[in-house]
Amino acid sequence: MVEAGFDTHELSELSREFLRTAEKLYPQRAKKFLADQANKGKKVMRSEIRSRVKGHRKRTTKEEKKTSLSRGVDKGKVYKYDGDWQVRVYNTAKHAYLVEHGHSNVKTRGGKGAIPVGTPIVMVPGRKTAGPLFIGRDGAVRRIEGRYFAAATTKRMKEAFPEDAENFLDELMKEGLEL
């Protein structure tokens, strides 16, 4: 990469090498750094949910809290996969996938619930992952678009991560030079 006439490619390689060395010399510090990044990711995902999901409100009852999208945001443990440290931020709410990627809302003659007995059934092609939907002839399918809050979180975290990693490496280097 060339910026203002300087080739920064070697510097990027140097910072990657510093990060690998830090992982080897200070594995606990590297794990803590990634856990802190996951906590930051949880905050970012909750803010994305608040800004993108219409009708998001504070839940009060115990039953409502179980289904809250923002309360379902959680992080996993830091683990090593293919030689790299990883951590995941995910949503445990049952309907998180539907809100993230969108879904089809099916209305039948009987209103909400099952299709009444004796109603002629027509197959409507569904999404690739959902398969076909079976609805009544007088039913209507309405597509509800996804809100993509997890994708937006990933984008925001990718933008902020390099600076955070540099700060982490600077911290380690300062501590190493003081010894």
Range of the domain at 44: 2-178
pLDDT digits (tens, 9 = 90+) for 58-92: 666 766 655 588 888 999 999 988 878 889 999 99
At residue 105, the 3 state secondary structure works out as strand
Residue by residue, DSSP assigns 129-178 as TT--EEEETT-EEEEEE---HHHHHHHHHHHHHHHHHHHHHHHHHHHHHH
Task: Tell me the per-residue pLDDT of 95-147, one tens digit each, with 9 for 90 and over.
Answer: 888 888 887 766 555 555 555 566 555 555 555 545 555 555 555 566 778 88
Domain count, the chain: 1
Q: Tell me the per-residue pLDDT of 52-66, one tens digit each, with 9 for 90 and over.
A: 887 666 666 766 655
The mean pLDDT of the chain is 75
Task: Report pTM.
Answer: 0.69
What is residue 4's predicted lDDT score, i.e. its pLDDT?
A: 44
